Amino acid sequence: MRIPKYESRGRVTTDTPGRSISARMSFRGADAIMRQGEATQTALKAVQDFADMRYEMILETRLNEADVAMRDGFREIARDLLENKRLNALDGLDNQPSEYDTRTSTLADRLRRNLGTDRRALAKFDQNFNLASSNTKWSLRDKFDDIIQARHQASIKSKVDQVVGAFSNPNASSDELPFEIADVQAMLQRAADKQLINPALVAAI
């Protein structure tokens, strides 16, 4: 009887023991992992892009709301100043800030707090606020010039009426009359020097 002859068909390999032959013979598993990783990166990028877009939309919304509140605030300030007619409304006196500057500064601080801390949004807001403030103050100049001039003329008239009334009394002493007249003339001259009244009126007195 002949003994069967066995021939080995094995081969030398460096693959890790225990791995399936199909996995060792193909890179399809690695390709699938790579494709899964690319899909994950794409998904993460889409999420980040949406977050960025949402953030920009929030900033733009806050800027729009600040712009509306800013313009309402300027209109309210202008209305109040014109109603009160204070002489220092636009220009400070005695080293004190004007009422306009104080109120607009308070308005800006409140609106900036509502905007948050984003530097781009704050810079854009400051630019818009400063421009609107300059335009509002400029538009009030002519109105307050008229108010100041009317108050000044009224003060001169009150002084003249006071002198006339005091010395219209027959029993009044005339000793102080030259001083009172000189005081009125000096007041009129100062007004003429500042172009607040016609200099010809002073010369005619």
SS (H, E, C) the chain: CCCCCCCCCCCCCCCCCCCCHHHHHCCHHHHHHHHHHHHHHHHHHHHHHHHHHHHHHHHHHHHHHHHHHHHHHHHHHHHHHHHHCCCCCCCCCCCCCCHHHHHHHHHHHHHHHHHCCCHHHHHHHHHHHHHHHHHHHHHHHHHHHHHHHHHHHHHHHHHHHHHHHHHCCCCCCCCCHHHHHHHHHHHHHHHHHCCCCCHHHHHHC
pLDDT attached to residue 87: 81
Neighbours of 84 (CB within 10 A): 9
Query: What number is the average pLDDT over the span 45-64?
Result: 78
Q: Using an 8 Å Cβ cutoff, are 61 and 69 in contact?
A: no
Closest C-alpha to 133, from 102, 162, 154: 102
User: From CA 119, how far away is CA 115, in angstroms rounded?
Assistant: 10
Residues 29-48, mean pLDDT to the nearest whole number: 62
C-beta of residue 181 within 8 angstroms of C-beta of residue 167? no
CA–CA dist 62, 162 (Å, integer): 58
- Distance (Å) of CA 139 to CA 99, 136, 142: 16, 5, 7
User: So what's the pLDDT on residue 23?
Assistant: 47
pTM above 0.75, yes or no: no
* pLDDT tens-place string over residues 108-151: 999 999 998 999 999 999 999 999 999 999 999 989 888 888 88
Pairwise pLDDT comparison (16 vs 76), residue with the higher score: 76
